[in-house]
Chain A
Amino acid sequence: MTDMPMSNPVSGATKGTLMQPDARTRRRNAAEKRFRIYGATAIGIAVLALVVLLFTIFRDGSGAFRQTYLAIPVELNAQVLDPKGNRDPGEMSKVLTLGYGKVLDAAVEATVARENIQIEGLTEAEIKGLISKDASAQVRSRVLADPELVGQTIEVDVLANGRVDGYFKGRVTLASAERDNNTSPQQLMLADELRDRGLMVTRFNWHFLSNPDASDQRPEAAGVGVAILGSLYMMLVVLFLAVPIGVAASIYLEEFAPKNRWTDVIEVNISNLAAVPSIVFGILGLAAFINFAGLPQSAPIVGGLVLTLMTLPTIIISTRAALKAVPPSIRDAALGVGASKMQSVFHHVLPLAMPGILTGTIIGLAQALGETAPLLLIGMVAFVKNFPASPPEGLFDPASALPVQIYNWTQRSDPAFIERASGAIIVLLIFLFCMNLLAIYLRRKFERRW
């Protein structure tokens, strides 16, 4: 090979037939196959992670949408509930839930006695503990709404205790009840008996979506109502602030800004802001809006402002991309018929970029909806049981937010709250799914190729 003339610089690589791969090719093809397998494995890992994640969330969370109720006749004893006997709601409201608790205890005991259920070792406390501590509050608010009920015997569906509910959902077993201070095997057997008689049923639980949060001892009464409303308020703030500001800033930067060092600074600043950890925005919110501006803690307005600042870079980046995608010929055409630069942008470029802007906006809102960390710092993690008023005043009332409510429930000791947290995640994911679906729909519908 070395002494070949220059006219033939190198010898042939493979002179053999093409029909049989040589050893080297076989080796290289094996490496090729291995490489492909690595790639497929990576995809497999990602898809598997998603499937396991969603599966466990739905497995743990679907229980939150079903709840166990006990149907019992309750004799609303007038002596206890309305000692003065004039059915005045103002006076009756002096009777606290404790009084209604007594009435309910009696009703449960009467039912067990009437149904003639005999279980060895069943104590009175276990019978009374069958129903939720929240049940008395439910009955109380029903009576206060309709004072004429006092003295009558009404059929009530009262919430069952969280442990009994967990028993029907498979979370609590007779074995685990043995070690549990809050329930006992006897109580669960009683529940079984009541279910066999059709008095205790587990059914779909709308209250999960409408109830406010409940205290540590009453997981069965907790719902995401306040959290949904709080999240909605914050999204309104983001929508009304981040979108106009973001679009205006993008229009300036993309269409009007001179290309100089100053606009470079703004640009670099925006792309960096998009990558600042969300918790830093929480610190900003705490320092600027609460400590400096004196806005109230836990208020949706503060959450909304923080999320606005956080979402702005995302919206600006996607809006600028949408504006950039409008070809210069459109601008030239408008300028050519004597429109001012401003007119060409607002009359022609902006409408054409609208679908892209909308898509980016929805994705930014979806991000904001799922954000948790900054909201923890501005006090949204507080326990809120009252619904905020309607906006605009309601924006300053304490409220929760879906992701923060989820975090809140993960910090409680009763495992029933994990079910609630997973249920709230399902709600959150459904919202996000709908938003993304809308974004995809808009993108498809208005997709334009120049």
Chain B
Amino acid sequence: MYDMNRVENAVSQTDIKIAARGVQVYYGDKHALKDVDVDILDKTVTAFIGPSGCGKSTFLRCINRMNDTIPIARVEGKIALDGEDIYDRRVDPVQLRAKIGMVFQKPNPFPKSIYDNVAYGPRIHGLSRNRAELDEIVEKALRGAALWNEVKDRLQEPGTGLSGGQQQRLCIARAVATAPEVLLMDEPCSALDPIATGQVEELIDQLREQFSVVIVTHSMQQAARVSQKTAFFHLGNLVEYGETDDIFTKPQDSRTEAYISGRIG
């Protein structure tokens, strides 16, 4: 079904962070994702675009095994993180998700204080030895998410009291605080207004310096603005994958062209 050698070849290149080969996903009888091969580079923003229901979010959730939480979902194929298959029986999804963080479509701060939201990941993964270290991690994560100046005086207030854009940046800070190697973002701006969207997009560009970012978006403009690589999905297939500029200016596949010019979607 898939070629082992392709994986070996893929990971021999050092800047490849994630290599997916022959990934198939079934939801019950529905074949949601068909034979997807893709290499995601380190310290790069990769955008997944495509019409709704095309499988882009499904694939994103495969990368940190969030599909495990859906009882009827079945994943076949191989996804390697730094050359190690994450679907290997020995891999603990909990440990994996500490390395591959995720930000969701709707801001979902926990009903706890801002501080406790950010400190949640470091606490469960034991990243700090004492309170001072934890304080430091929280501050750095909030600074990294460009939120520190807005919330530094009210860290003990509930995270749910922030505005939508702030909540989403809090969720990004929460993911960043766990020190992931890859950050997955599932339409992170779909619930935000244009100003908040701009702030988050700026942030994504900064995050690229530290790790690989994969973003699912329904907005082609956003993909063009933030990403270096773009993958176009359609009806469960990965149709085209390449440099973002190339995809938007000279698409190879007629379906990509149709989508970009607004004829399908």
Residues of chain A having any CB pair with chain B under 8 Å: 1-2, 6-14, 17-22, 24-25, 28-29
* B98 / chain A contacts, CB cutoff of 8 Å: 13-14
Q: Report yes or no: A12 in contact with B181, Cβ–Cβ below 8 A.
A: yes
CB-CB under 8 A from B137, the residues of chain A are: 9-10
Give the shortest distance, in Å, between B154 (CB) and chain A (any CB). 20
**Residues in A neighbouring B198, C-beta threshold 8 A:** none
A6 touches B141 (CB 8 A): no
The answer to whether B127 touches A10 (Cβ under 8 A) is: yes
Contacting A at CB under 8 A, from B79-130, are: 81, 84, 86, 88, 90-92, 94-96, 98-99, 122, 124-127
> Which of chain B's residues has its CB closest to A24's CB?
B126
Could you list 29 examples of A-B contacts with CB < 8 Å? Answer: A1-B136, A2-B136, A6-B140, A6-B143, A7-B206, A7-B209, A7-B210, A8-B209, A9-B137, A9-B144, A9-B176, A10-B122, A10-B140, A10-B177, A10-B179, A13-B99, A13-B127, A13-B178, A13-B180, A14-B98, A14-B125, A18-B84, A18-B99, A19-B84, A19-B88, A24-B125, A24-B126, A25-B92, A28-B124
Q: Known pairs A18-B88, A18-B90, A28-B124. 14 more at Cβ < 8 A? A: A2-B136, A6-B144, A7-B209, A8-B210, A10-B141, A10-B176, A10-B177, A12-B179, A13-B125, A14-B95, A18-B91, A21-B95, A24-B126, A29-B94
How many B residues have CB within 8 A of the partner chain?
33
Cβ of B102 to closest chain A Cβ, rounded Å: 15
Q: How far is the CB of B69 from chain A (nearest CB, A)?
A: 14
Contacts of A19 in B (CB 8 A): 84, 88, 90-91
The binding surface of chain B is classed by DSSP as helix
Indicate the member of A18, A19, A20 with the most B CB atoms within 10 Å: A18
Q: How far is the CA of A28 from the CA of B136 in the complex (A)?
A: 24
The reply to whether B96 and A18 contact each other, CB–CB distance below 8 Å, is yes
In the bound complex, what is the Cα–Cα distance between A20 and B84 (angstroms)? 11
List residues of chain A with CB within 8 A of the CB of B180: 13
Q: A277 → chain B, closest Cβ, in Å? A: 34
Question: Which 9 pairs of residues, A with B, have the shortest CB-CB distance?
Answer: A9-B140, A10-B179, A9-B144, A19-B90, A18-B91, A21-B92, A13-B179, A25-B95, A18-B84
Taking CB atoms, residues of chain A closer than 8 Å to B90 are 18-20
Spell out B's residues near A (CB within 8 Å): 81, 84, 86, 88, 90-92, 94-96, 98-99, 122, 124-127, 133, 136-137, 140-141, 143-144, 176-181, 206, 209-210
Is A18's CB under 8 angstroms from B141's CB?
no
Q: Give the chain B neighbours of A8 by CB distance below 8 A.
A: 209-210
What is the CA–CA distance of A405 and B45 in the complex, to the nearest angstrom? 76
Q: How far is the CB of B40 from chain A (nearest CB, A)?
A: 16
Contacts of A29 in B (CB 8 A): 92, 94
Of chain B, the residue at the smallest CB distance from A17 is B84
CA distance A28 to B125 in the complex (A): 9
Instruction: State the Cβ distance, B163 to closest chain A Cβ, in Å.
Output: 23
| CB closest chain-A residue, reference B145 | A9
Contacts of A22 in B (CB 8 A): 95
Cα–Cα distance between A29 and B91 once the two chains are bound (Å) = 12
Partner of A9, one of B99, B133, B141: B141
B143 partner residues in chain A, CB cutoff 8 A: 6, 9
In the assembly, what is the distance between CA of A52 and CA of B46, in Å? 60
Q: Report the minimal beta-carbon distance from B138 to chain A, rounded to whole angstroms.
A: 10
**Residues of B contacting A24 with CB < 8 Å?**
125-126
Given contact pairs A10-B127, A28-B94, A18 touches B177 in the complex (Cβ within 8 A): no
Nearest-CB distance from B130 to chain A (Å)? 13
Please give me the residue from chain B that is nearest to A10 by CB atom: B179
CB distance from A21 to the nearest CB of B (A): 5
CB distance from A6 to the nearest CB of B (A): 6
Q: How far is the CA of A1 from the CA of B127 in the complex (A)?
A: 11
Query: Which residues of B have CB within 8 Å of A18?
Result: 81, 84, 86, 88, 90-92, 95-96, 99
Q: Which residues of A contact B92 (CB under 8 A)?
A: 18, 21, 25, 29
Q: Which residue of B lies closest to A22 (CB)?
A: B95
Q: Which residue of A lies closest to B124 (CB)?
A: A28
Could you say which residues of chain A place their CB within 8 Å of the CB of B141? Answer: 9-10
What residues on A are CB-neighbors of B181 within 8 Å? 12
Give A32 Cβ to nearest chain B Cβ, in Å.
Answer: 8
What is the bound-complex CA distance between A9 and B178, given in angstroms? 10
CB distance from A424 to the nearest CB of B (A): 44
| Nearest CB in chain B: distance from A16 CB, A | 9
Residue among A10, A19, A21 with the most chain B CB within 10 A? A10
* Bound Cα distance from A6 to B137, whole angstroms: 11
CA distance A17 to B81 in the complex (A): 10
| B96 contacts across to A, CB distance below 8 A | 18
Contacts of B88 in A (CB 8 A): 18-19
Smallest Cβ-Cβ distance to B86: which chain A residue:
A18
- B217 to A: closest C-beta gap in Å: 24
For the complex, what is the distance from the CA of A11 to the CA of B144, rounded to whole Å?
13
A376 CB to closest chain B CB (Å) equals 46
Q: Find chain A residues with CB under 8 A from B178 CB.
A: 13
Query: In the complex, what residues of A have CB within 8 A of residue B84's CB?
Result: 17-19
B94 smallest CB distance to A (angstroms): 6
Across-interface contacts of B125 in A (CB, < 8 A):
13-14, 24
Report the minimal beta-carbon distance from B107 to chain A, rounded to whole angstroms: 20
Q: Considering the chains assembled together, what is the distance between the CA atoms of A326 and B124 in angstroms? A: 45
B178: min CB distance to chain A, Å: 6
- The smallest beta-carbon distance between B146 and chain A, in angstroms, is 11
Minimum CB–CB distance for A95 against chain B, Å: 76
Residue from B86, B126, B133, B143 having most chain A Cβ neighbours under 10 A: B126
A24 CA to B133 CA in the complex, in Å? 18
Closest B-chain residue to A28, C-beta based? B94
A8 vs B48: C-alpha distance when bound (angstroms): 25
Closest chain B residue, CB of each to CB of A4: B140
Closest residue of chain B to A21, judged by CB?
B92
Taking CB atoms, residues of chain B closer than 8 Å to A25 are 92, 94-95
- Asked whether B179 lies within 8 Å of A11 as measured between CB atoms, the reply is yes
Complex CA–CA separation, A21 to B93 (angstroms): 10
Nearest Cβ in chain B — how far from A268, in angstroms?
27
- Report the minimal beta-carbon distance from B134 to chain A, rounded to whole angstroms: 11
